[in-house]
């Protein structure tokens, strides 16, 4: 639509066509300038990404929109967790270089993950902060590992040296490590638990140090903080839980530029589809879907048996890293629902309210539920609309930046006429208007000072256009109007459409075109020095 209306208002091209590099005194002259010569089809009104041609070359809109995606953190989240352990020296003793202080101390920690029992997860992103405070008055070497966390089959492990304590001030080591890409086995040391990790720690006096006397007041404090852990993949049992969704809204952009008028559609092919790539069963209740037109304030609730009825969708399957989703599809037709008036409402949003019950039959997978962060259960609206319609004062509006005063030569044009020649092959007429805005977005003028109409093409008894109709519209540009154009920062472009042969439906075909030519006849001041 932007391309269509811009072709009626390319005054910027007018300016570039009229520049003169002349020097010496000035005089007024008259300039006839061709500005635009273009051929426009339905793709200039609607995005070609949503248009398809039928076998008879009539056009249809094919549009898909997600209304809800079930995210991983709806099912569970891995919370930040701190593992803090203190190791005291039980007896006074002297250790030699290389002698062990702590030997393979194992610590198990269970995450408090609500509503989920995880056995394994692959970390998309996350960190562990490892902090040691040592009161030993000699450099101490540590081997810290997370045997249950592996990357490329290799367990996470680090070797660090902690400075010697000085007087009562402990030696401190503090470092953060990236856990991205690690696979966590969350079944604990004996592989019989859930949500559980374990770490291993060995400490010894540095072999490069000296013998050191230890007393019971000497101690080691180890603090591990796991934080911002986001899984890419998880397996386990995700629980039998109820997730309430909404009431909420989803943006719907198809009719976003329509600001006035009405439309009647001959037919609407519409469906609600569910895709489940998650390894869990679900029972879904769609409590409501509504068509919302924020411009008019009109809301229409969907009427269909799907509303409030249980929808059971089976779990996806996984084999060799390949996911096999399950699907469900529920057609909404003019005979089983009110979907046609919902779309004719020209919504800019869809409202929805849902409830999802996970694993309604319990842990029937034996804790083999699975989920990938980028493969989520989704509900979609699928729409196919044949472009067979009745349009009544259907108004499309767009706002664009505008500036023709960047060059002083432009000021030489002070009045004239723009003539629009429109050879229309579409079976609808169009009325145009352009408003100029100042820096405060206040309308300062309109380009057309009188009513104008581009006539519709002639049609036959089958309501198909048989040729084109030429319309000529003259647009006087006074000196005052030209000055307002110079100061305009933006323009509002409006086109109002009405189909032929109302109230009969008119099909739009791929070969329909509108040929546009703009010619400018201007009074022009030539500056000579």
Q: Which helix (H) or strand (E) holds 202?
A: strand 196-205
Among all chains, which residue has been given the structure tokens 């249980």? 310
The parent domain of residue 199 ranges over 78-237
Tokens of 225: 């903080």
Other beta carbons within 10 angstroms of residue 299's beta carbon come to 15
- Classify residue 471: in a domain, yes or no: yes
Task: Give the span between the Cα atoms of 379 and 355, in whole angstroms.
Answer: 12
Q: Which of 237, 272, 305 is the last residue of a domain?
A: 237
pLDDT of residue 14: 35
Strand intervals (E) in 42-80: 51-53, 59-69
pLDDT band at 460 (very low <50, low <70, confident <90, very high): very high
Span 218-239, average pLDDT:
90
pLDDT band at 8 (very low <50, low <70, confident <90, very high): very low
pLDDT of residue 303: 94
Residues 6+ positions from 282 with CB-CB distance below 8 Å = 276, 312, 313, 315, 356, 357, 358, 359, 360, 377
Q: Which of 386, 419, 435 is the last residue of a domain?
A: 386
Residues 153 and 232 occupy one common structural domain: yes
Span 273-292, average pLDDT:
93
pLDDT band at 464 (very low <50, low <70, confident <90, very high): very high
Residues 284 and 218 occupy one common structural domain: no
pLDDT of residue 150: 95
- Classify residue 371: in a domain, yes or no: no
Among all chains, which residue has been given the structure tokens 């952009």? 253
pLDDT of residue 240: 93
pLDDT of residue 84: 83
- Classify residue 460: in a domain, yes or no: yes
CATH code for position 255: 2.60.120
Give me the phi and psi of 517, to 5 degrees please.
-135, 130
pLDDT of residue 316: 95
Higher pLDDT, 32 or 441: 441
Residues 328 and 445 occupy one common structural domain: no
In tens, the pLDDT along 368-377 reads 999 999 888 8
- Classify residue 313: in a domain, yes or no: yes
pLDDT of residue 412: 63
Higher pLDDT, 409 or 109: 109
pLDDT of residue 411: 54
Name the nearest CA neighbour of 343 among 432, 437, 263: 263
**What is the percentage of the chain residues whose pLDDT exceeds 70?**
88
pLDDT of residue 287: 94
Whole-Å CA distances, 2 to 46, 148, 405, 493: 9, 58, 22, 8
pLDDT of residue 19: 33
Instruction: Give the residues across from 522 on adjacent strands.
Output: 31, 416
In tens, the pLDDT along 49-96 reads 788 888 888 889 898 888 888 888 888 888 888 888 887 777 788 889
Residues 84 and 233 occupy one common structural domain: yes
- Classify residue 69: in a domain, yes or no: yes
Residues 195 and 269 occupy one common structural domain: no
Whole-Å CA distances, 389 to 61, 236, 393, 508: 12, 52, 13, 8
pLDDT of residue 501: 84
Whole-Å CA distances, 371 to 14, 15, 120, 285: 59, 59, 11, 21
Q: Which of 237, 261, 287 is the last residue of a domain?
A: 237
pLDDT of residue 435: 81
HSE of 303, CA atoms in CB hemisphere, 13 A: 10
- Classify residue 165: in a domain, yes or no: yes
When the pLDDT of each residue in the chain is averaged and rounded to a whole number, the result is 83
Higher pLDDT, 484 or 342: 342
HSE of 7, CA atoms in CB hemisphere, 13 A: 17
- Classify residue 258: in a domain, yes or no: yes
Residues 216 and 246 occupy one common structural domain: no
Give CA 36 to chain center in angstroms.
36
Domains: count for the chain: 3
Q: 130 with 177: CB under 8 angstroms?
A: yes
**What is the percentage of the chain residues whose pLDDT exceeds 90?**
40
pLDDT(48) > 50: yes
Q: 138 with 209: CB under 8 angstroms?
A: yes
Residues 295 and 314 occupy one common structural domain: yes
pLDDT band at 36 (very low <50, low <70, confident <90, very high): low
pLDDT of residue 181: 95
Span 3-13, average pLDDT:
40
* 3-class DSSP assignment, residue 385: strand
Residues 205 and 272 occupy one common structural domain: no
pLDDT band at 441 (very low <50, low <70, confident <90, very high): confident
Task: Give the span between the Cα atoms of 208 and 122, in whole angstroms.
Answer: 39
Largest distance between two CA atoms of the chain? 108
pLDDT of residue 466: 92
Task: Give the span between the Cα atoms of 144 and 135, in whole angstroms.
Answer: 18
**b/e for 102-116, b at 16 or more Cβ within 10 A?**
beeeeeebebebeeb
Residues 116 and 184 occupy one common structural domain: yes
Span 375-382, average pLDDT:
88
Task: Give the span between the Cα atoms of 287 and 307, in whole angstroms.
Answer: 5
Span 482-494, average pLDDT:
76
Residues 124 and 189 occupy one common structural domain: yes
Span 261-265, average pLDDT:
89
Residues 188 and 290 occupy one common structural domain: no
- Classify residue 17: in a domain, yes or no: yes
Span 166-179, average pLDDT:
92
Residues 48 and 67 occupy one common structural domain: no
Name the nearest CA neighbour of 379 among 311, 322, 427, 429: 311
Count Cβ atoms within 10 A of the Cβ of residue 162 and give its class: 0-12 exposed, 13-18 middle, 19 or more buried.
buried
pLDDT band at 31 (very low <50, low <70, confident <90, very high): very low
pLDDT band at 289 (very low <50, low <70, confident <90, very high): very high
pLDDT(15) > 60: no
pLDDT of residue 488: 76
pLDDT of residue 404: 61
Span 342-351, average pLDDT:
92
- Of 224-233, 292-301, 402-411, which range is least confident? 402-411
pLDDT(293) > 90: yes
pLDDT of residue 242: 92
């Amino acid at each position: 639509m932007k391309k269509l209306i811009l072709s009626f208002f390319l005054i910027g091209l007018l300016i570039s066509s009229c520049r003169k590099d002349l020097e010496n005194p000035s005089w007024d002259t008259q300039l006839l300038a061709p500005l635009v010569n273009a051929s426009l089809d339905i793709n200039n009104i609607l995005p070609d990404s949503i248009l398809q041609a039928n076998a008879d070359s009539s056009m249809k809109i094919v549009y898909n929109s997600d209304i809800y995606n079930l995210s991983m953190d709806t099912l569970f989240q891995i919370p930040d967790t701190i593992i803090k352990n203190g190791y005291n020296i039980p007896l006074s003793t002297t250790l030699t270089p290389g002698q062990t202080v702590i030997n393979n101390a194992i610590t198990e920690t269970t995450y408090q993950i609500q509503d989920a029992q995880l056995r394994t997860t692959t970390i998309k992103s996350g960190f562990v902060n490892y902090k040691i405070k040592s009161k030993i008055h000699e450099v101490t070497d540590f081997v810290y590992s997370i045997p249950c966390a592996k990357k490329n089959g290799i367990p996470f492990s680090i070797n660090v040296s902690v400075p010697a304590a000085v007087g009562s001030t402990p030696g401190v080591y503090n470092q953060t490590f990236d856990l991205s890409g690690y696979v966590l086995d969350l079944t604990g040391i004996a592989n019989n638990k859930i949500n559980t990790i374990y770490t291993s720690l060995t400490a010894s006096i540095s072999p490069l140090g000296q013998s050191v006397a230890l007393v019971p007041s000497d101690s080691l404090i180890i603090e591990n903080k796991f934080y911002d852990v986001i899984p890419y993949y998880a397996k386990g049992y995700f629980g039998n839980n109820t997730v309430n969704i909404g009431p909420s809204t989803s943006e719907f952009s198809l009719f976003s530029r329509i600001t006035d008028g009405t439309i009647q559609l001959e037919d609407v092919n519409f469906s609600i589809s569910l895709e489940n790539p998650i390894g869990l069963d679900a029972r879904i209740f769609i409590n409501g879907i509504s068509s919302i037109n924020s411009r008019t304030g009109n809301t229409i609730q969907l009427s269909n048996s799907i509303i409030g009825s249980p929808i059971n969708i089976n779990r996806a399957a996984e084999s060799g890293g390949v996911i096999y989703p399950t699907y469900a599809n529920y057609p909404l037709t003019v005979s089983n629902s009110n979907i046609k008036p919902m779309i004719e409402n020209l919504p800019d949003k869809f409202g929805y309210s849902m409830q999802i019950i996970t694993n309604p039959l319990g842990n029937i997978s034996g804790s083999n539920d699975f989920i990938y962060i980028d493969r989520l259960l989704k509900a979609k609206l699928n729409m196919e609309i044949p472009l067979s319609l009745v349009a009544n004062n259907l108004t499309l509006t767009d706002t664009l930046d505008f500036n023709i005063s960047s060059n002083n030569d432009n000021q030489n044009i002070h009045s004239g006429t723009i003539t629009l020649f429109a050879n229309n092959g579409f079976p609808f007429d169009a009325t145009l208007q352009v408003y100029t805005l100042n820096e405060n977005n206040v309308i300062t003028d309109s380009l057309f000072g009188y009513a104008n109409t581009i006539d519709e093409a002639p049609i036959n008894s089958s309501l198909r256009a048989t040729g084109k109709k030429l319309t000529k519209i003259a647009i006087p540009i006074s000196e005052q109007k030209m000055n307002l154009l110079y100061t305009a920062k933006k323009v509002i472009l409006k086109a109002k459409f009405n189909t032929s042969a109302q109230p009969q439906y008119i099909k739009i075909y791929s070969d329909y075109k509108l040929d546009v030519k703009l010619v400018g006849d201007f009074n022009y001041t030539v500056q000579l020095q």
